[in-house]
Amino acid sequence: MIEEKLGKETKTKYRTLDNKLSHLTQTQTKTPHKTHTFYPRLIDNTNIRFSNGDAALLQKGLKYNLHSKPKNWIQNLALEAETAITLLPSSEQNVYRKLVADHIGKLQQQNPSHKPHPETKLIKSIQAKLQETNATITRANKGNSIVILPTNDYKIKIEKFISDNNFHTVTTGPTNTFQTRVRNTVKQSKTLIPKDS
C-alpha cells in the first residue's frame, strides 16, 4: 500500500520533471535572432611570427594563471609543514613528520626540478621575440583582448592620451593636504564626535 502510493508519487514527480526539461530544451534551443560578435582575443599590430604554442598561450588572455612554480617550492612546503608540525603535541609530531616526508618524496619524484613547465619555455620565447622587435603587450581599451604593438607606437599613444586629456604633473602629492582637510573636518564635526562637557 505505502509502496504503491510512493511509486505513484515518484512517477508523477519524474513525469513533471521530464515535461519541464523537454519544455526547457525546446524553448532554449532556438537560435537567437541577433548574433553577438566578440572582440578577438589577440590583436597583433606587428609582423612578429609567433609559433602555434606562443599564439595559444597569448589567446588565453592576461588573466590566465601561468603554471610556473618557484624554484624551491618543495623546500618551502617542507619548511611550512615542519612549522605546523611543531605546533602539534610532541607525541604526534614524529608520525606527521613521517607522513609529510613520504608525501614530499612523492612530490619530488613527480616534479623533477630540472624540467621546467612547457609554458615557461613559451613565455621566454614570447619575451625574446618582443625584445628582438621592440614590441609591447598591453590590454585593449575594449573587450578582453591583448594588443601587441611596437613600443614606440605605444609611447606615442600614451603621450597623445595625456596631452588630449589635459593632464599635468604636480610638484607635491595631494595626499597630505587631503588627509589634513579630512582630519580638520572630522574634528570640527559635532555630530560625528560629540564634545565631552
The total of structural domains in the chain comes to 2
In the numeric block, the cell 612546503 is attached to 77
pLDDT at 171: 83
Q: Is the pTM of this model over 0.85?
A: no
Domain of residue 108: give its range.
Answer: 69-115
pLDDT at 67: 75
Establish how many alpha carbons lie within 13 A of residue 173's alpha carbon, considering only the half-sphere containing its beta carbon: 4
Q: Is residue 178 part of a domain?
A: no
85 shares its domain with 59: no
Q: Is residue 20 part of a domain?
A: no
Q: Is residue 162 part of a domain?
A: yes
156 shares its domain with 145: yes
Q: Select from 85, 115, 145 the last residue of a domain.
A: 115
> What is the rounded distance in angstroms from the CA atom of residue 55 to the CA atom of residue 67?
17
Residues in the chain predicted with pLDDT less than 50, given as ranges, are none
77 shares its domain with 107: yes
160 shares its domain with 149: yes
Q: Is residue 73 part of a domain?
A: yes
Q: Select from 55, 86, 115 the last residue of a domain.
A: 115
pLDDT at 180: 92
35-55 b/e with 16+ CB inside 10 Å = b? eeeeeebbebebeeebeeebe
pLDDT at 98: 92
Q: Is residue 131 part of a domain?
A: no
Return the ∠ at Cα 39 (arms to 125 and 126), rounded to 5°. 5
Q: Is residue 93 part of a domain?
A: yes
